[in-house]
Amino acid sequence: MASLPADSAVSSVQRRTMIVLIIAQVVGTVGVGVAPSIGVLLAEEVTHNEAWAGLARTASTLGAALFGLWLGTVAARRGRRVALSRGWALAAAGAALLVVAAQLSLIIPLFVGLLFIGAGSAVSLQSRFAATDLAEPQHKARSLALVVWVGTLGSVLGPNLGAPGEFVGSITGLTVFANAFLIAAVFLALAGIVVFAWLRPDPLLVLEQTTGTQATAAGKKPIRFRQMFAEIQANPQARIALIAILTSQTVMAAIMTMTPVHISHQGGSITLIGITISLHVAGMYALSPLVGLVTDRFGYRFAISTGIAIFMASLIIGAVKPHDMTGIIVSLILLGIGWSFGSVAGAALFSAVVAPETRAASQGGVDALSNLSGAIAGFIAGPLLVLTSFSFLSILAMVALVPLAVLMTTNARTLYSEPVPEQAIGSD
């Protein structure tokens, strides 16, 4: 086994790693945050069909899922620095392609660009794991949460690039949307440069040095979805957690994806749309530390049930006051908070109850299913909004919450019992 670096040296690398990740996360997520709002509006403008606008969210979400798997393989083989910098570079290339698509109203480059910009979301998620590579055991969660937290700053600023895009247009002569993605491309490229230039030494490679080949072997182990589904089938707590995660993602994605289009049809400006989505994203992440405390203090059932109640309040406002911009903004904020409760509590429960032998594979599978459910919900929401109304879309989202609400009522004993990971099921 290779000689172990001194604890002080590892701590120094961890501090440097956190600084670099925080800077890259804030800068990069500014670019990533463009897709949920401006990307949807661009898709409607280019296709001249709001039913296709939902594909903007779908394309970027699918990109996050696809590139997430690839970047994980790159990290296992080449380390975090190479994987994260490549991911930011791919996202920057996608944003640059969207500049062309926006300026020339090109459909194929539009969706290819949105697919590639999804790599930024995958990198943002992978950065939280990079933060835990060298963290002390008692500080791993804190390190992960810090990277997620600072990423919120960029995610809130990103949807508002339409406003500076108008100012930049006086210099570049490009359209507002083209300028917004030009700014996004610059930010994404800067994030890649920061990681490639300063994430040295690589935290994952240092971890491998301290543990021999264990980290590399684990990283190259393929995800076995059969194992995940077998365990979920036999583990009622994991099954409830999965349903909570997927329901929260589906409801949030369906409403959030089409809100920019709905506001635009009501005469709202691009600035108002950006502010609304920013407040929604703030609702998703700003209270996450509090959500964690509530979950630890009062339990998973209470936290998930609270999320359902907040979701319902959001959707009722959206259904009753679809033409009231203040009501829509409040609805979107509550939608984000409801997602935070359902997603954070569901993920915490899932991590607590799955078997250690299949935990990494199962968590990866849940992330993939979550991304897919969000992509499908966003895609379906477009035609539904065309055929019905924003009020009806909100009502359908309420119906989607019913199965989860029934589970919270009928499985109280299961959720209140202490989570104990089952033995690995179906492992080879």
Q: Count H helices and E strands in the chain, helices first.
A: 19, 0
The whole-angstrom separation of Cα 287 and Cα 303 is 13
Which of 160, 192, 221 represents a domain boundary (last residue)? 221
Determine the straight-line distance between the first and last CA of the chain, rounded to whole angstroms: 27
Note down the domain range covering 128.
1-221
Which of 187, 204, 221 represents a domain boundary (last residue)? 221
Which of 221, 256, 290 represents a domain boundary (last residue)? 221
Band of residue 217 on the pLDDT scale cut at 50, 70, 90: very low
Q: 177 and 239 share a domain?
A: no
Q: 63 and 100 share a domain?
A: yes
Whether 425 is covered by a domain: the verdict is no
In the numeric block, which tokens belong to residue 273?
A: 């749309």
In the numeric block, which tokens belong to residue 12?
A: 């120094």
Each residue's pLDDT tens digit, 6-18: 567 778 888 999 9
Q: 156 and 250 share a domain?
A: no
The rounded mean pLDDT for the chain is 78
What does the pLDDT average to over 341-365? 68
Each residue's pLDDT tens digit, 60-69: 878 887 887 7
For helices 288-298 and 325-353, give the axis angle rounded to 10 degrees: 50
Whether 308 is covered by a domain: the verdict is yes
> What is the percentage of the chain residues whose pLDDT exceeds 70?
76
What integer pLDDT is reported at residue 401 of this predicted model?
A: 95
Place of tokens 């610059």: 186
pTM over 0.95: no
Helix (H) or strand (E) holding 176: helix 176-198
Number of domains, the chain: 2
Q: 348 and 296 share a domain?
A: yes
* Domain CATH number, residue 246: 1.20.1250.20
The whole-angstrom separation of Cα 103 and Cα 178 is 6
Give the residue among 36, 81, 38 at the shortest CA–CA distance from 60.
36
